[in-house]
Amino acid sequence: MPELAEAARRTNAWACYDCGKCTASCPIARIGGNYSPRRHVLATNLGHREDIIENGTLSSCLTCKLCDQRCPAQVGYTQLVQQLRELSHREGVEPECPHGGALQSLMRMMAKGGTQQDRMNWLGKDLETDAAKGEVFYFTGCTMYYDTFFPEFQLNTLNGTRAAVRLLNRLGVKPVVSPTERCCGHDLLWNGDRKNFELLAKHNVQMVVDSGAEVLVTSCAECLRTWKIDYEPFYTGKMPRMMHITEYLTDPNYGGPNLKYKAGEQRRITFQDPCRLGRHLGIYDPPRKALTALPGVELTEMRRSGSGAMCCAGGTWSNCDRFAKQIQVQRLREARETGAEVLATACPKCQVHFRCAMKDPNLGGEIEIEMRDVAELVADALE
């Protein structure tokens, strides 16, 4: 199959020397799933289409990039999965979408366009934003949809979004929050639906270029990865610098010393590295810096953190199964072991998935921990 050879060439899969470190470190394989990254790499190299597309395990990958991190031959397995999923999507094989495919439907409807989404209502009256032009563009992401879709988790990912805008306001910035924004398309791309992803990418890039922004800030790790890496072929004109809110807050040119905090009580916080922010983009320090700058905060790391951090196991709305649940439970136990009161994270999806795991009626009490977005914690500590 020429597509497989092409995918192997682009992702360096040819370099694989069959050591099996990828499968040995894969969270899904370790927890007992019938899943092997090595098998996919080998099948790609050998051109065995049926081992990849008909075998049905392709959508189990968390795309957490842990195997890429460990691979001694620099095979881009995560990138390979993205391309293989595109291939299988073209052949009509789609992941079993959890939640009845509702979120995928939503994204495809946004790609189609035609309606005016209600994307501004969460702002409230005290936050200052501009709907069209400005130096800083705040890319909201889909937190309003998550909060509406998962009322049973008592989720409030919008608080993180609001906090980010409040922090920007405090720094004297009136960010652009656009009513024409659409989903970044991250999950469609990782489900293999490139056609609809491209519609979204073109729309969003044009919207941001038109705003004349110099900096694009977002508080979603997935949006940031999509903007920085996957949107690249669609860049037009002068693209802004793209930053995560925690990068913006800790950058000496933007946030940095300009934020003043009130004295806070002594408390312990632990940080969940989102896979998109950490391993995909290499952003490990800014969220930690933002947290340790807060008075009274002691940051304790979990057993696996930084580049070895365990992912929330649900990144692309395609792989929620019993293995994902076990991974989440393990991770929450790790968080509890640190003795921290709060589990901070920098991606709304991590919150969705961990809060779902906490709903386990048999374990609830054992693995429950308060979850907050980093921006929320920083905004609450403001003077």
Q: Which of 32, 56, 72, 113 binds other proteins (CB under 8 A)?
A: 113
Residues 348 and 224: their CA atoms lie apart, in Å, by 12
Q: What are phi and psi of 263, to 5 degrees?
A: -65, 135
Q: How far is the CB of 28 from other proteins (least distance, A)?
A: 24
110 touches other proteins (CB under 8 A): yes
Which residue lies nearer to other proteins by CB, 198 or 247?
Answer: 198
Angle between helices 2-10 and 37-46 (to 10 degrees): 120
Which residue lies nearer to other proteins by CB, 149 or 284?
Answer: 149
Q: Which of 38, 203, 280, 349 binds other proteins (CB under 8 A)?
A: 203
Of residues 272-291, which lie at the interface with other proteins (CB under 8 A)?
Answer: none
379 touches other proteins (CB under 8 A): no
Specify whether the CB–CB gap between 89 and 58 falls below 8 A.
no
Which CB contacts under 8 angstroms, 24+ apart, belong to 323-327? Answer: 323/27, 323/28, 323/31, 323/32, 323/33, 323/35, 323/60, 324/28, 324/62, 324/353, 325/357, 325/360, 326/31, 326/32, 327/27, 327/28, 327/31, 327/62
Q: How far is the CB of 210 from other proteins (least distance, A)?
A: 6
Q: Which of 2, 92, 100, 233 binds other proteins (CB under 8 A)?
A: 100
111 touches other proteins (CB under 8 A): yes
CA-based nearest residue to 220, from 275, 271, 167, 148:
275
Residues in CB range of 244: below 8 A, 6 or more apart: 217, 218, 219, 221, 224, 277, 281, 283, 286, 287, 346
236 touches other proteins (CB under 8 A): no
357 touches other proteins (CB under 8 A): no
CA atoms within 13 A on the CB side of 144: 16
234 touches other proteins (CB under 8 A): no
Specify whether the CB–CB gap between 3 and 91 falls below 8 A.
no
231 touches other proteins (CB under 8 A): no
Kindly list the distances between the CA atom of residue 164 and the CA atoms of 159, 275, 338, 374, 378, in Å, as whole numbers in the listed order: 9, 20, 27, 9, 9
Q: How far is the CB of 142 from other proteins (least distance, A)?
A: 9
- 236 class by beta-carbon count within 10 Å (0-12 exposed, 13-18 middle, 19+ buried): exposed
Which residue lies nearer to other proteins by CB, 99 or 359?
Answer: 99
Q: What are phi and psi of 29, to 5 degrees?
A: -65, -35
Q: How far is the CB of 266 from other proteins (least distance, A)?
A: 40
Which residue lies nearer to other proteins by CB, 178 or 345?
Answer: 178
Which residue lies nearer to other proteins by CB, 46 or 102?
Answer: 102
112 touches other proteins (CB under 8 A): yes
Q: How far is the CB of 108 from other proteins (least distance, A)?
A: 6
Which range binds other proteins by CB under 8 A, 60-68, 104-112, 290-298, 352-360?
104-112
113-137 residues labelled b (16+ CB within 10 A) or e (exposed):
eeeebebeebbeeebebbeeebebb
Q: What are phi and psi of 205, to 5 degrees?
A: -60, -45
Which residue lies nearer to other proteins by CB, 149 or 261?
Answer: 149
92 touches other proteins (CB under 8 A): no
Which residue lies nearer to other proteins by CB, 122 or 284?
Answer: 122
Task: Give the number of residues in contact with other proteins, rule: CB under 8 A.
Answer: 31
Which residue lies nearer to other proteins by CB, 111 or 311?
Answer: 111
Which range binds other proteins by CB under 8 A, 61-69, 101-109, 166-174, 281-289?
101-109
| DSSP state for residue 127 in the 8-state scheme | -
Which residue lies nearer to other proteins by CB, 151 or 233?
Answer: 151
Which residue lies nearer to other proteins by CB, 115 or 266?
Answer: 115
Of residues 135-174, which lie at the interface with other proteins (CB under 8 A)?
Answer: 144-145, 148-149, 151
Residues in CB range of 148: below 8 A, 6 or more apart: none
Where does this chain bind other proteins (CB under 8 A)?
97, 99-102, 105-106, 108-119, 144-145, 148-149, 151, 180, 199, 202-203, 206-207, 210
